[in-house]
Amino acid sequence: MAKFYITTPLYYLNGNPHIGHASATIAADVISRWHRMRGDDVFFVTGSDEHGEKNQKAAEQLKKDPQAYVDGLVETWKKAWGSLDISYDDFIRTSEKRHEAAVPDFLARLKKAGDIYKGFYEGWYCVHDETFITDTQLRDGKCPECGRAVTRVKEESYFFKLGRYQDLLLGLYAKNPSFLSPSYRADEVKNRVRGGLKDLSITRPSLVWGIPFPGDSKHTVYVWVEALLGYMTVLGWPGKGRFGEFWPADVHLVGKEINWFHTVIWPAMLMSADIPIPRKVFAHGWWTVDGKKMSKSVGNVIDPIKISKAYGVDAFRYFLIREKPLGEDGDFSEAALKARINGELVADLGNLVYRVLSLAERFDGNIEGTPELDKHLDIKRIDALMLELDLFGALNEIWAFVREANRYVNEKEPWKLQGDALGNVLYNLLEACRVISIMIGPFMPSTSAKMRSQLGVGQGYLKDCRFGKFDGKPKKGSYLFTKIEN
């Protein structure tokens, strides 16, 4: 059984999840479910990055203990993932014992490799992004990432010799090109690395809310350095157990804004610690809302839970994958969501299933025939697209097949047929519906289950996505989707 280990970012808790978090987590869920359907042994991890100055300050403002503050937030996030049907196998919190206890082991390895030294950091710091910023990176004197005011810091600090890893990193990218995915984002990273790497400050002056630096508790481990370790501590590292089974990760799915941490700092630290490097870091794009950048001040932050309650969880999941390729930016609007629900989920899929089951229910002959509709189905290609994380491309192919099935109904006009001729058409359509119910499962789990129950078939795997004998017991149920009126 092939092992497959995928992670979302360990999200920095800051309010409730927005559409960007939801879309990345849904994408990781779709990928995980697809691999399970292939029969792979999947481990799917999400979690929360909880330490740092930002959370400490937020807790202080609310007059709360930082632990109590993040405990509350984590509950909200877990509930959100539950309501979006996210099938994660483990949720790692960086304030958990299993994580905190492992951090000194990792730093000891970097130290043993001669990669840690004490120095003095002078530069800028963005508390919002928990990021060090150089003079040249400033944009109009503000943080280049979030545009907020930055703080001048002059502090004693421990450093990691990132500068030493320039050639090794370039070697890694050359040897494993798909480590930097999608490929069109690779040059950005490579060029920056070629331009030279500065050593990285890996501590902050002692924060109450953080992990003390081993051997010098006047310092706290820089939140980014320990957060990335969560991908390993969730597997029980430094113990072997699950870590031995699932490491290195197959995919770290990350936002493009944190690609640098995952494709430069993280592999360099792993090389220093003599730990295998993950196979792929995939940077996903961002969502705008109604053509505008999402922000609290504009007031256009989309609450994924509200939207999925209003329009249906599966419709929301479908839209996020269908609307744009995972790596690219895209725009969210309720108008576009409604258009896809009415034009695709209702008119294509819902209509197909309803028509086919209505005919099948009235038919009392044998549902048998010769496969002909399956010539439009290329399951190998769809699987290959999914393995490349082209979820958009795969769903597009699946949808082309749904539309072919509708075209087949219109062309054959089964309402004019009877006997074996009708049995043959129904056989093809029911097999098409059964295969579609399997293929859409990772994208729309509840709709898939509803289809299976109406078709009277059991759970299927990827290997079942080919026409055989239809042995379901079809029984028309309610519409899969209902039209959204304006």
Comparing CB distances to Zn ion, the nearer of 127 and 484 is 127
How far is the C-alpha of 45 from the C-alpha of 252, rounded, in Å?
10
Q: Closest approach of Cβ 301 to Zn ion, in Å?
A: 17
Q: Closest approach of Cβ 261 to Zn ion, in Å?
A: 14
Which residues lie below 8 Å from residue 147, measured CB to CB, with a gap of 6+? 139
Stretch that binds Zn ion, among 67-75, 119-127, 320-328, 431-439 (CB under 5 A): 119-127
Q: Closest approach of Cβ 144 to Zn ion, in Å?
A: 8
Which residues lie below 8 Å from residue 7, measured CB to CB, with a gap of 6+? 28, 44, 45, 46, 231, 249, 251, 252, 253
Query: Could you count the other beta carbons within 10 Å of the beta carbon of residue 152?
Result: 8
Comparing CB distances to Zn ion, the nearer of 126 and 315 is 126
- How many residues line the site for Zn ion (CB under 5 A)? 7
Comparing CB distances to Zn ion, the nearer of 148 and 292 is 148
* DSSP per-residue string spanning 130-166: TEEE-GGG-BTTB-TTT--B-EEEEEEEEEE-GGGGH
Comparing CB distances to Zn ion, the nearer of 145 and 290 is 145
Token reading at 184: 């069109």
Residue 230 CB-half CA count within 13 A: 30
Q: Closest approach of Cβ 147 to Zn ion, in Å?
A: 7
Binding to Zn ion, residues 123-182 (CB under 5 A): 126, 128-129, 143, 145-146, 148
Comparing CB distances to Zn ion, the nearer of 140 and 411 is 140
Query: Could you count the other beta carbons within 10 Å of the beta carbon of residue 163?
Result: 13
Comparing CB distances to Zn ion, the nearer of 81 and 125 is 125
Q: Closest approach of Cβ 130 to Zn ion, in Å?
A: 9
Q: Closest approach of Cβ 54 to Zn ion, in Å?
A: 10
Q: Closest approach of Cβ 134 to Zn ion, in Å?
A: 14
3-class state of residue 214 by DSSP: coil
**CB-based burial label for 226 (10 Å; 0-12, 13-18, 19+):** buried
Q: Closest approach of Cβ 350 to Zn ion, in Å?
A: 44
Comparing CB distances to Zn ion, the nearer of 129 and 390 is 129
Rg of the chain over Cα atoms, rounded to whole angstroms, equals 25
Q: Closest approach of Cβ 11 to Zn ion, in Å?
A: 16
Q: Closest approach of Cβ 128 to Zn ion, in Å?
A: 4
Q: Name 239's bridge partners.
A: none
Comparing CB distances to Zn ion, the nearer of 147 and 177 is 147
**8-state DSSP, 311:** H
How far is the C-alpha of 469 from the C-alpha of 8, rounded, in Å?
39
Comparing CB distances to Zn ion, the nearer of 124 and 159 is 124
**Residues 461, 39 contacting (CB under 8 angstroms):** yes
Stretch that binds Zn ion, among 122-130, 286-294, 357-365, 475-483 (CB under 5 A): 122-130
Q: How far is CA 142 from CA 117, 150, 453, in A?
A: 29, 6, 56
Binding to Zn ion, residues 467-486 (CB under 5 A): none
Stretch that binds Zn ion, among 120-128, 179-187, 239-247, 310-318 (CB under 5 A): 120-128
Query: Could you count the other beta carbons within 10 Å of the beta carbon of residue 117?
Result: 12
How far is the C-alpha of 45 from the C-alpha of 267, rounded, in Å?
19
From residue 242 to residue 281, the character string flagging contacts with Zn ion as x (rule: CB under 5 A) and all else as - is ----------------------------------------
Comparing CB distances to Zn ion, the nearer of 54 and 280 is 54
Residues that bind Zn ion (CB under 5 A): 126, 128-129, 143, 145-146, 148
